[in-house]
Every structure is written in C-alpha cells, then in structure tokens.
Chains A and B, each alone.
Chain A
C-alpha cells in the first residue's frame, strides 16, 4: 500500500454543545478501500462533510491529499439541469470535455441522461450522483451510503468500479450501513459507535465477515 491520502487524527466535533465525534483517527492509503460503519446518528455523514471541508472540526487534524470527489448521502442534483449536465458540471466549470456515457452505461442510467432529476426514480438519481462523482478527476473518493436505493445489478456494478478504482491507485472511503457489500470490497473497516461516537474497532480484510461487527 502507498502513502496515506486521507489522514484524520484525534478529531472532535460538537453540535450545540453536544459532542458527537471524539478522538476519531483513521487513514486511507493510495490503492486502498476503507469502510466506515456505524449506527444511524453516529456522525458518519458529519465526518464526510468535515473531510469535504463543508464542516469544521473543533480539534484534531484532518488532511486530504490530492483531488477529492464525494458521493454525499443526499444527491444534490440540480433540478434545473438535465442529468447529462448535472454529471458534467465539474468538467464544464474547468472547460474540459466530458463524456458521461461510459460511466452511465456501467450504472445503467444512459437512457435517462436527457431527463431532468424530477423525471427519474430515486434510484436513478442516486446513480446519477455516483456517476457525477466518478466523472471528477480525483485521487480520493468518498462514498456516503452509496448502496442505498440501488438494485442488485447496480450494487454489483458499483462494487466492481470501486475495486477498479483502488487497483488504479485511488484511495476510496466507503461509509455504509450495508455491511455485506462493504465487506466484499474493503481492505479495512472502521467501526464507529457510542455517544459521543468513537472508533470502536478496526477490522482488517481477513477478519471481515459475518459476526465481525
């Protein structure tokens, strides 16, 4: 494994005086798929927003090296743009060419590219949000609950994309409560729990499986 592209050390975060994350430390190296699991409300999405720079930490160190791309838990598709234009926003803002067809085909949304978000199902919107993140030129990819709302074929497709990304040297952090999918691709899984949430366990690939958490 290579250098750590995502590094979090002793992170703490409070909201309205209540501490929700305490002493969080994790790292994701180049070529690695790392999972983060935990019950709802443990601050997983807050951690993602901190890594994205949307939220600030109260204390601790957070560093992301290289370009970052994220699939947020919420799709954030712009309702006034067609899916094709939503997918290509990052490239458009940089004056680059964008070809969304290949990734759209892999996720099974190529026939919806000319539709507006309100004209497609929730699952298609989810896949569009994933495709948009994949079309960003990134070194680090963070996926927050990427499997939610996906059919089995799309889950399989996404799992193979994640594996390919790691093999090509990208660092991938997958936040999910769908352990079965996560355990199939992750090299390491951080288990978040308690209140305030802390890293309770770190499971390595050989330990991943039923009953591990």
Chain B
C-alpha cells in the first residue's frame, strides 16, 4: 500500500517535470507552483482550505442527515420508501451544473448555502443507496430476532439500523465525502466568493498558471489526506469492531 503511494509520487513528479520542460509556456514547474503559496500568502491558502472543507463537510452532513431521516421515515411507510427510490434516481439524473445554477439563482453568488446544497445533492444518492440496501439486508438478517423482541419502529431504528448499518454507511461516507470535496470546488468556482474552487478559477481568469496548479495540487493533497488518514482508518476500525 505504502509502496504504491511512493510509486505514484515518483510517477507524478517525473511526469510533471517532463511535461513542464516539454511545454514550459503551458505547464509551470514544481518550484514555481510551490512558490505560489508563499506569494499568495499562507493566510489565503489556509482560509480557502478551511472554506472548502466547510462547504464539503456541511454538504456531506446535510446529505447524511437527510439519508438518516429518510431511512427512519421509510420504516413507517412503504409508500415513502417507494418515493425514495424514485427520488434517488431523480437526484442522480440532475447535473451538478444544474444544481449549482439553480442554487446560485436562489441564494446568490456570495452565499455559502449554494455550494453546501450542491455538495449535499451530489453526495445524497451514494449514501441513500447504501443506507437503504444495508438496512434492508440487516432487517432480513435479524427478522427472527425482531419478531421475537417486537421493538417499536423507533427502537428498531436506534438499536438495529443505525449501529447495524454503520460499516456500510462509513464506506458510503468515504465515497460521498470524496464526491462532496470534488463537487464543492465546482460549486465554489461558479457561485462563491472564496474556497479552493473559487481561487482556482480566479487564477485561471488572471492567467496565473502556477496558481491553477497550486490550488489543484492543494485540493488533491487535501482529498488524499482526508481519505487515507481519516476515512480509511475509520472504515478499518468500524469493520474490525464488528465481525
């Protein structure tokens, strides 16, 4: 695993150096790109990173809560469960660009609500699919015990579904948070006054190639760090804690 990352790093650096030498007018060198951070100011880098993380995590949290509430309501109503399946297909069918434009029209360019809601809409389907399928599997698996104990729907949700679907939900969250982070920068690029996505497009508009590469690199490092150091370990821990 670690060797794989080393190989990838060597490959990426070698490709970057080679391409920067081949196309010096198009691709900035590594040194030039890294210098951009200090030129732009570490305060701006930090603020943009925090804002993007805020948009991503808030959007992810909104989606997570929506999925949690949806699964609970699905326990009470078969009709709602059918509605959820259709809703999931609908949400998946709407382009991120459409969500972005619609939410910017509603909330304005400077509001953080638009990137948060776009991120929520993008990560909602992945988590809802995982939540519904894992809760169905769990209910089938423990059907005899549920028949014996006869819990209320709320007790079923709290004592069976929430803890029982945790491994699948953590895995789905890993995917959804990755989506959230990628999508939030797209939303920021269109409808925000800050964040990595906004800075990336701003650098592009000004023709600062080192800036485009620096912000893109920051986003990639942020995603990999979050995935490997937080979500990957959390997933491993949850799975080990279960069977």
Contact = CB atoms under 8 A, between A and B. Distances in A.
B147 interface: yes
Interface residues of A, number: 21
B149 A70 contact: no
B40 interface: no
B151 interface: yes
Contacts of A68: 148
Given A93-B151, A93-B152, A76 B164 contact: no
5 contacts: A52-B147, A54-B147, A89-B149, A92-B159, A93-B152
A78 B164 CA distance: 8
Given A49-B144, A54-B144, A69-B148, 10 more contacts: A72-B148, A76-B142, A76-B144, A78-B145, A80-B166, A80-B242, A89-B159, A92-B159, A93-B149, A118-B243
Contacts of A74: 144
Contacts of B243: 79, 118
B233 interface: no
Contacts of A52: 144, 147-148
B144 A72 contact: yes
Nearest to B242: A79
A136 B148 contact: yes
A79 B147 CA distance: 18
Contacts of A54: 143-144, 147
Contact of B148 (A70, A81, A118): A70
Contacts of A133: 148
